[in-house]
Amino acid sequence: MSSSKRNGNSTTGSRPNAQNIKKILLKKRIIEIFYKEGLKTIAELCETTNNSVPSITNIMNEMNREGWVNNFGIGESKGGRKPAIYGLNPRAGLIAAIDLSRKDSRIGVFNLHNEQVSDILEINDGLDTTDNILSILKKEMENLWKKNSIQKKEILGLGVTIPGLIDIKKGVSYSYPIFGNKPLKEVFGKQFGLPSTIEHDTKAMAVGESWFGLARDKSDVLFINIGSGIGLGIIINGKLYQGHSGFSGEFGHIQMDPDGHLCYCGKIGCLETIASGTALVKKARQMIREGKNSIISAKVDNKLEAIKLKTIVEAANQGDLFAIELIEEAGEYLAKGMSILIHLFNPEAIIIGGEMSEAGNLVTDPVQQKLNKYTMLRLKQDTTVLVSDLKEAAGLYGTLPIVVDSMLSRYFGNGAHGLNNGSEPHNGAS
């Protein structure tokens, strides 16, 4: 589909008038409905958008010619003629996604049905391992396109997740000086030659859970990302909560131990210094060095520097007592922190995601047990603790509605609606 055809205004003449604007907004609304809810009949669209059958039929024909909409066959009759079913053309545009972490990263390409059109590629480089992460990502992304016969012109936009502090108003990273003082969307936009949107990693994962994961049908959910650090994504009334400056969810930096270790943030005894992947790895190395017996040593050929959170979780899943105890102890402190969150937010569910999610019950059992100790019974009873089933892919999935929202604003202007899962792209493509 050519870019001129994609323009919401393409078939309605160049001079916008009230009727044209109404039509453009209706097209945008219909794309949002299809994207969020899947296939629909004309009757269903009439009801949701409060329009007549002839006008929706006309719009469907027009959007079909433009390449946005496909006819997906005939549905079940509810009495009378069987209705035609419409939905988004999955190839109307593709979304490239990058989930950039400190030590590694993941990339993938998806269609407008949120289906993978490429493998999800894991790259063993991240923000902390190289100064050339941007060019590495570009090269790997272009290879991925080539391998899957994807043309760059098919890509509607690039969604990127990154860790650390991101200023919601300026769109700059306060944690990674390699990006300079420039808005991240400009840095990535220039590097890839694509409209780019940026979201904080844990927040993107929370959006992923909210659209595609265990938080899908829930409106008040907390998502805890446990990897090298500990982050929190807050979904309130079905929307992502950003906070005044975009810094909400720095759960890992609340103090747990006033006499504890120095955290990289400059404070003492943060939750991250006790229960994060980095803390667990540090402790495992130290205790094994001091003679602790564990299959972890064999897993890394006694090269203790090679221990990662993944190694510990794998060992625990194989029944290694030391690894299980490490996770159990982290669980106790996590529960202490989570009890504060439960008292403050009264969430329907807390989802544990990130690398730690691979530990499953080994992390949720001790958490559940200790929540009994720290949380008021009534509140505890109303909160379920779950382990993410999207696991590490949550971040990539979370970028998709954010990119689509930004693309819709670009092609159709800022209407009254918006996908509005709180996934408002705060520094989305302009």
**From 92, 158, 270, 327, residue interacting with Zn ion (rule: CB under 5 A):** 270
- Residue 267 phi/psi, 5° resolution? -95, 175
Give the count of residues interacting with Zn ion (CB under 5 A): 5
CA dist., res. 287 & res. 312, Å (int): 13
Q: In the complex, what is the shortest distance from the CB of residue 175 to Zn ion, in angstroms, rounded to a whole number?
A: 12
What are the tokens at 136?
A: 């590495």
What are the tokens at 321?
A: 């007592």
Q: Tell me if 269 contacts Zn ion by CB under 5 A.
A: no
Contact residues for 138 (Cβ-Cβ < 8 A; gap 6+) = 191, 192
**From 218, 253, 282, 391, residue interacting with Zn ion (rule: CB under 5 A):** 253
CA dist., res. 298 & res. 296, Å (int): 6
Encode 3-22: b = buried (16+ Cβ within 10 Å), e = exposed: eeebebbbebeeeeeeebbe
**From 134, 265, 295, 300, residue interacting with Zn ion (rule: CB under 5 A):** 265
Range in contact with Zn ion (rule: CB under 5 A) among 96-104, 130-138, 191-199, 257-265? 257-265
Range in contact with Zn ion (rule: CB under 5 A) among 17-25, 135-143, 235-243, 259-267? 259-267
What are the tokens at 274?
A: 């006790």
Q: In the complex, what is the shortest distance from the CB of residue 228 to Zn ion, in angstroms, rounded to a whole number?
A: 13
Q: Which is nearer to Zn ion, 226 or 386 (CB)?
A: 226
Q: In the complex, what is the shortest distance from the CB of residue 253 to Zn ion, in angstroms, rounded to a whole number?
A: 4
Range in contact with Zn ion (rule: CB under 5 A) among 70-78, 105-113, 166-174, 256-264? 256-264
Q: In the complex, what is the shortest distance from the CB of residue 257 to Zn ion, in angstroms, rounded to a whole number?
A: 11
Task: Indicate the helix (H) or strand (E) that contains 189.
Answer: helix 184-192
In 3-state terms, what secondary structure has residue 353? strand
Q: In the complex, what is the shortest distance from the CB of residue 340 to Zn ion, in angstroms, rounded to a whole number?
A: 16
Q: Of 363, 371, 342, 337, which is closest to residue 255 (Cα–Cα)? A: 337
Q: Of 332, 329, 328, 344, which is closest to residue 376 (Cα–Cα)? A: 344
Range in contact with Zn ion (rule: CB under 5 A) among 49-57, 192-200, 246-254, 289-297? 246-254
The alpha carbon of residue 424 and the mean position of all alpha carbons in its chain are separated, in whole angstroms, by: 13
Q: Which is nearer to Zn ion, 121 or 265 (CB)?
A: 265
Under rule CB under 5 A, which residues in 201-240 are in contact with Zn ion? none
Q: Which is nearer to Zn ion, 96 or 270 (CB)?
A: 270
Q: Which is nearer to Zn ion, 251 or 412 (CB)?
A: 251
End-to-end CA distance of the chain: 21
Q: Which is nearer to Zn ion, 159 or 229 (CB)?
A: 229
Q: In the complex, what is the shortest distance from the CB of residue 272 to Zn ion, in angstroms, rounded to a whole number?
A: 5
Contact residues for 340 (Cβ-Cβ < 8 A; gap 6+) = 254
In 3-state terms, what secondary structure has residue 327? helix
Q: Of 165, 312, 175, which is closest to residue 247 (Cα–Cα)? A: 165
Range in contact with Zn ion (rule: CB under 5 A) among 61-69, 239-247, 255-263, 346-354? 255-263
Binding residues for Zn ion, rule: CB under 5 A, are 253, 263, 265, 267, 270
